[in-house]
Amino acid sequence: MTHTLMKLPFDEGALEPYISKETVQYHHGKHHAGYVNKLNTLIRGTVYEPMGLVEIIQKAEAGIFNNASQVYNHDFYFTGLSSKPSAPLGILLERIERDFCSLDQFKDTFLQAAANLFGSGWVWLSVDKEGKLVIDTLSNANSPLLLERTPLLVCDVWEHAYYIDYRNVRADYLEKYWDLVNWDFVSHNLTNYVKGKYIEFPCDEYSGACEFSEDK
């Protein structure tokens, strides 16, 4: 199969002034697209060619793994951003308070982890095997899917995510990133997990509607 670059769920300039249109154009149009193209080139004629993205991530190594995982990670990152204000509510807020004491502590822990990640990588909020919310800092293209996690949210801390807007000041990017988190998407992912609904790749089926609002 041929993998395709996801369509952004917002206009390229929608995240301004926090994340500029130029950053989005480079990040999505060059970096993200580059991983998709490279993946398609690398899998041609291999056992990975007929596989979906998640299966490739679970089975491949080296360049094929790296590019497949970067496609997945970027799909997750961009789906998890929105200029529309939202907040963790309902069961998401309850679980955050249960596992991190408070929303403030969760924010501090998540952003500190992102600030302290050495080099390039990703910070994930996931559900672990015991149902606990956990934060993982993963270098390069590493994936929570290989840690038996159900991913809920990711922040990209590769320099290309913020260098145009914030130069080397990652901490400033992280503070602004926090204001752009699409908590409806995070809630949607947790709802599926709580309902026992296994969604292989939530970005593909997330419609932008918060299931919690419908449930209540």
- Give me the residues that bind Mn ion (CB under 5 A), please: 156, 158, 161
Sorted by sequence, the CB contacts under 8 Å of residue 129 that are 6+ apart come out as 148
C-beta of 31: minimal distance to Mn ion in Å? 5
C-beta of 83: minimal distance to Mn ion in Å? 19
**Closer Cβ to Mn ion, 72 or 158, answer by number:** 158
**Closer Cβ to Mn ion, 111 or 133, answer by number:** 111
C-beta of 212: minimal distance to Mn ion in Å? 29
Buried residues in 90-126 as b, exposed as e (16+ CB within 10 A): bbbbebbeebbeeeeebbeebbebbeebeeebbbbbb
Backbone angles phi, psi at 150, to 5 degrees: -105, 110
Alpha helices in 32-169 (DSSP H): 33-43, 53-59, 62-79, 90-100, 103-116, 163-166
The closest residue (CB) to Mn ion is 156
Q: Are 208 and 9 in contact (CB under 8 A)?
A: yes
User: Which residues face 107 on adjacent strands?
Assistant: none
C-beta of 97: minimal distance to Mn ion in Å? 30
**Closer Cβ to Mn ion, 68 or 161, answer by number:** 161
**Closer Cβ to Mn ion, 173 or 206, answer by number:** 173
C-beta of 87: minimal distance to Mn ion in Å? 25
**Closer Cβ to Mn ion, 136 or 156, answer by number:** 156
